[in-house]
């Protein structure tokens, strides 16, 4: 039984799908106006492990994730770069896939883009106007929040208590300060390439409307799970609920999952604070495997404080797992998925239980390390156990957690150098043995000497 925290109800709940053994999941995607950063990585690695767990638990998962490929930020950046907004968006959509592939994030079933859904968005807005939930002010269309009685149910805010504040733009056109725009009339200085005809004006969609349209278009009026970062709870997800349920008259999403912020020195990572780290820059110094491991070291709902020290700890820890696996492969050879060893069965179940209980990555990792210790303590033991242990290691590492395994590499040059180094050690020629060790280090390998006198090569990360 999978249970997890539902932001809508503020409590853990048993997951009961709309359709048996199926999960419809919509995850808010990026606005591609710049390269991906660590906050993106945390969100999409989080939902990748969640998706993997549902799949491994026997569910058929349909995962939709959008690209907001028309937006004020995209338009402004495209003007700076003297290219079209769509060219700019395409550049950073490619960057998204490049970085997520490095992090081993599985692809969604579909990635709809705003520019591909304009007719559906216009139709959706027309319905809201017809039902009295939206109004036209000189070609700009706004959603009237006071017409939707449950506004605030996700963020737990009461409309009557809301006041003009830092997150609400003063706009004299609005009937209520928290009304939000559904359709923006094109301004004179804006490019026509991102302007479309509508019954009200030539313009483009507002931010929030796109996700409601894409979700209902791809997955139906009511979905199982909607997800994103905690910063999207208000206003984005609150507004999605309002416009979706106003339009369809049905519950929009049964469960809401939100991952925590990435912080730097306990402050939320943001460009405005200058504590902003792109994945391109991080990957110059750290293997993406290390970054993915680091992102799983805290519960997904808690803040994750970024530092080089934390990444270095993750790197050392992951290297230890790599060493254990390389030594296991050297002894066990092939894997055996017919698991009959009680200790291995117990660890598999513990990992599953941890993920069943609000997707507790941190706890799952702790059981994974118990497996590592069990392997290291039994390398000279029963070969049948070791073959089973190899399968369990691979199943947890790559299957459940999505951390690519660093497979041991064997070629003639490496084998020859290792054999010569072992011969020098047997002859007590320590100087020559060290030379071969250093040569292997230059090639990116470290040597692990085993108790039985054998040696194992491990790729350094």
Range with the lowest mean pLDDT among 1-5, 77-81, 335-339, 420-424? 420-424
Record the tokens describing residue 9, joined without a space: 């109800």
Residue 269: the pLDDT is 74
| Element spanning 258, H or E | strand 253-259
User: Quick one: residue 88, left, alpha or beta (phi over 0 = left, psi -120 to 50 = alpha)?
Assistant: alpha
The share of the chain scoring above pLDDT 90, in percent, equals: 84
Record the tokens describing residue 277, joined without a space: 């780290």
Question: Which residues are within 8 A (CB) of 411 and not within 5 positions of it... i.e. 6 or more apart?
Answer: none
3-state DSSP assignment of residue 343: helix
Taking a C-beta distance cutoff of 8 angstroms, is the pair 111, 65 a contact? yes
The string of pLDDT tens digits covering residues 182-195 is 999 999 888 999 99
Q: What is the mean pLDDT of the chain?
A: 94
| Whole-Å CA distances, 130 to 133, 143, 157, 176, 278 | 8, 12, 27, 19, 44
Strands annotated E in 111-220: 134-137, 140-143, 180-185, 203-205
Q: Count the Cβ atoms, other than its own, within 10 Å of residue 242.
A: 29
Peptide bond into 235 cis (omega under 30): yes
| Whole-Å CA distances, 38 to 99, 122, 227, 289 | 10, 34, 17, 14
pLDDT at 197 over 80: yes
Q: In the structure, what pLDDT confidence band is assigned to residue 272 with cuts at 50, 70 and 90? A: low
Average pLDDT over residues 19-23: 97
- What does residue 25 show for φ and ψ, rounded to 5 degrees? -130, 125
- The structure's pTM equals 0.94
Taking a C-beta distance cutoff of 8 angstroms, is the pair 351, 404 a contact? no
* Helix 342-356, helix 383-394: angle, nearest 10: 10
For the chain, the helix, strand and coil percentages under 3-state DSSP, each to the nearest 5:
45, 15, 35
Three-state SS sequence of 160-179: HHCCCCCCCCCCCCCCCCCC
Three-state SS sequence of 39-99: HHHHHHHHHHHHHHHHHHCCCEEEEEECECCCCHHHHHHHHHHCCCHHHHHHHHHHHHHHH
Q: In the structure, what pLDDT confidence band is assigned to residue 232 with cuts at 50, 70 and 90? A: very high
The whole-angstrom distance between residue 424's C-alpha and the CA centroid of its chain comes to: 48
Residue pointed to by tokens 């469960």 = 255
């Amino acid at each position: 039984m999978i249970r997890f925290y539902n932001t809508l109800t503020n409590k853990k709940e048993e997951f009961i799908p709309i359709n048996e053994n199926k999960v419809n999941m919509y995850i808010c995607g990026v606005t591609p106006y710049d390269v991906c950063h660590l906050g993106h990585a945390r969100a999409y690695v989080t939902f990748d492990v969640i998706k993997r767990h549902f799949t491994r638990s026997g569910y058929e998962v349909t995962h939709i994730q959008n690209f907001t490929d028309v937006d004020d930020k995209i338009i402004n950046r495209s003007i700076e770069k003297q290219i079209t907004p769509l060219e700019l968006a395409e550049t950073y959509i490619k960057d998204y896939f490049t970085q997520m592939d490095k992090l081993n994030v599985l692809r969604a079933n579909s990635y709809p883009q705003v520019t591909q859904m304009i007719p559906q968005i216009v139709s959706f807005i027309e319905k809201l106007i017809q039902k009295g939930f939206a109004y036209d002010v000189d070609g700009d269309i706004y959603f009237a929040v006071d017409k939707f009685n449950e506004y605030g149910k996700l963020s737990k805010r009461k409309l009557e208590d809301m006041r003009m504040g830092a997150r609400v733009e003063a706009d004299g056109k609005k009937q209520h300060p928290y009304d939000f725009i559904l359709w923006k009339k094109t301004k004179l200085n804006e490019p026509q390439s991102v302007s479309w005809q509508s019954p009200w004006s030539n313009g483009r969609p507002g931010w929030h409307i796109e996700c409601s349209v894409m979700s209902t278009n791809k997955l139906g009026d009511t979905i199982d799970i909607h997800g994103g970062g905690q910063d999207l709870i208000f206003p984005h997800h609150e507004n999605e609920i309002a416009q979706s349920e106003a339009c369809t008259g049905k519950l929009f999403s049964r469960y809401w999952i939100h991952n925590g912020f990435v912080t730097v020195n306990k402050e939320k990572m943001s460009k405005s604070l200058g504590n902003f780290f792109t994945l391109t820059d991080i990957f110059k110094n750290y293997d993406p495997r290390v970054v993915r491991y680091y992102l799983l070291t805290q519960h997904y709902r808690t803040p994750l404080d970024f530092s080089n020290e934390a990444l270095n700890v993750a790197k050392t820890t992951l290297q230890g797992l790599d060493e254990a696996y390389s030594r296991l492969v050297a002894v066990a050879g092939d894997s055996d998925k017919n698991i009959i060893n009680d200790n291995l069965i117990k660890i598999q179940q513990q990992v599953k239980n941890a993920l069943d209980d609000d997707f507790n990555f941190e706890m799952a990792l702790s059981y994974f390390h118990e497996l590592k210790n069990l392997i290291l303590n039994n390398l000279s033991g029963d070969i049948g156990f070791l073959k089973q242990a190899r399968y369990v290691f691979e199943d947890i590492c790559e299957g459940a957690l999505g951390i690519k395994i660093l497979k041991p590499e064997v070629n003639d040059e490496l084998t020859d150098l290792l054999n010569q180094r072992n011969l020098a050690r047997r002859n007590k020629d320590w100087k020559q043995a060290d030379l071969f060790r250093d040569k292997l280090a230059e090639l990116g390998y470290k040597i692990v000497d085993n108790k039985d006198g054998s040696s194992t090569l491990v790729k350094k990360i």
